[in-house]
Chains A and B, each alone.
Chain A
Amino acid sequence: MKKTTKKLLALIGAMTLVVGSLTACGSTTDTAAATTATTDTATTDTATTDTTATDTTATDTTAADTTTTDLSGTITMAGSTSMEKLANAVAEAFMAKNPGVTVTAEFTGSSAGLESLTAGSVNIGNSSRSLKDEEKAAGLVENIVAIDGIAVVVDPANKVTNLTKDQLAQIYTGTIKNWSDVGGASEPIVVVGREAGSGTRDAFEELVGVKDTCVYSNELDSTGAVAAKVASTPGAIGYVSLDVVDDTVIALSLEGVAPTVENIKAGTYFLSRPFVMATMGEISAQDANVQALFAYLASDEGKALIESVGLITVD
């Protein structure tokens, strides 16, 4: 009897494997999208990619004004690491209002997020820079949801408090190498920046006018990593999203203007860039969940949320 039960169990195990692999093979695009997803929600991803496939194929715009508590389904976002705080805050708040909807976000970089959007594996692509012409030509629509300042940070022990745009450019191209040349102690400058596909790096280099001529000593993969490196290295300088600045680093004034919300809104602080939540096609062509998300962002509650994470709302 023992032998036959063993054989029976082995047979059942083999059948389950076969059935499982057949169902996986059945939905090839979904599994391809699932493999591009990163660590965040490993098990829920396979469930969400199945339902997003059905969501994006259904284009029933007449369901736009359902009551928010009736919504159900998933919204997937991918993109900029600078937008992590905003994406997480929006996801939490929206899910609290609409318990039937699951909002997931991955942080792979602005360019990677827009690529995922073009490939159709996510609903929203987060980007911390404006869209390029090729991306707009592929059908992506640029929905600016907030304005973000880029803060230039140094470690807390640094006595320098202000830099001119010229000095900043010279530091990042390697012409100025010591803090004593800009009014600080005699310490070498450690230039920290982002990797080549980063929206923050793109925006920074363009606004300061040093595109493709920067000489970095450290090219790190996320806004958080830059902040951590600057905080722990005396003499380091780096650029981060304004909402990430906390007590561990000091944000410099540029051209005498401090990086505050008022100055960015007034336009006197020149390092600011749009936070874009791009969609494939206009918002009105998206499914009910995505439309509700954008409606939430445009509402007073949404604006309060955006300001609470340190960003500036668009009027």
Chain B
Amino acid sequence: MANKESFSIKQNYKNKTLVEKAAHFIFMVCAFFAVAAVFSITFYMIISGAPALFSVGIKEIIFGTVWKPTAEQPLFGILYVILTSIVGTIMAVLIGVPIGVLTAVFLAEVAPRKIAAIVKPAVELLAGIPSVIYGLLGLLILNPIMYKLELIVFKDSTTHQFTGGANLISAILVLSMMILPTVINISQAAIEAVPKHIKFASLAVGATHIQTIFKVILPAAKSGIATAIVLGVGRAIGEAMAISLVSGSSVNFPLPFNSVRFLTTAIVSEMGYAEGTHRDVLFTIGLILFVFIMAINIILSRILKKGDIEK
């Protein structure tokens, strides 16, 4: 190793090459670990999730509607659970993404500097709050309100099972709260990264500020906003702790006022004690969740970034 500072370009050539090569090697090793991690997770999920698909049957698991794992004749139908995760994620994204993107536009373009100086740190703090806190707040504040609403809506119903406020709507509201900070932060960074001359050019030809934002800046920030949406969807579909406190955890069809179970909460609430086939089916649920996330990532990236490539 060099034992004196060397600023000459020609001197110490051997040492410099050695350092370069060593650095490249270390970077390659780090990258290798990352890739190895993804591959081993995929491999492990497939290995542990596959046995139940064969022993219980793909149709029974994915298309069955009754979940009674500890009964005399165990039934492992997770159709309602899958539907709940899909519906819950879509609704949470439909609520959270527009609010998030518009807030990002506000912060980046419209807000006076002083207000932005208050709102921005608040949003960044929101992003750091652990998900369990959102669940606790949902339990304390959201559930009683939902219960009162439930009593009003189903006043004369004879068939509805009252859940005390722990239902799909509560879970969706908590999920949209949780994806807001992620979407806002990334969208805002994307909007601020749009080159200023594009905005000024649009304003120069006579467009109003709002027209500029929606017709010029947002399309230019498309890939960043797409990233924000993908991350938001990922967080929504993968969240377990917060919604397990507010969603009720019974397996039902995902209607707004029903007590429902998501793919994630199904694994979390029963993994502690499950044994034998039950445990294998829980791993299969994990595999299905994994497949969903991969599929969503790929599809969303293709759809949302297509605009960029065509430009």
Contacts and interface: CB of A to CB of B under 8 A. Distances in A.
Interface string A263-307: 000000000000000000000000000000000000000000000
Interface in B1-46: 1, 3
Contacts of B154: 188
A111 B165 contact: no
Contacts, number: 84
Interface string B206-230: 0000000000000000000000000
Given A7-B1, A195-B249, A212-B68, A233 B165 contact: yes
A190 to B, nearest CB: 4
A8 B249 CA distance: 55
B288 to A, nearest CB: 20
Given A191-B161, A235-B162, A219 B275 contact: no
Given A197-B70, A212-B71, A218 B3 contact: no
Contacts of B163: 190, 217-218
A7 B272 CA distance: 46
A216 to B, nearest CB: 5
Interface in B163-200: 163-166
A234 B162 CA distance: 11
Interface in A115-172: 115
Specify the main secondary structure of chain B where it touches its partner: loop
A218 B249 contact: yes
B270 interface: yes
Interface residues of B, number: 31
A217 B70 CA distance: 18
A89 interface: no
B274 interface: yes
A217 B273 contact: no
Given A196-B69, A197-B272, A220-B249, 8 more contacts: A4-B3, A177-B158, A192-B164, A212-B71, A217-B162, A218-B163, A221-B269, A233-B165
10 contacts: A7-B1, A108-B273, A111-B275, A188-B154, A197-B70, A217-B161, A218-B249, A229-B166, A233-B164, A236-B164
Interface of A: 3-4, 7, 108-112, 115, 174, 177, 188-192, 195-197, 212, 215-221, 229, 232-236
Interface of B: 1, 3, 68-72, 143-144, 147, 151, 154, 158, 160-166, 244, 248-250, 259, 269-270, 272-275
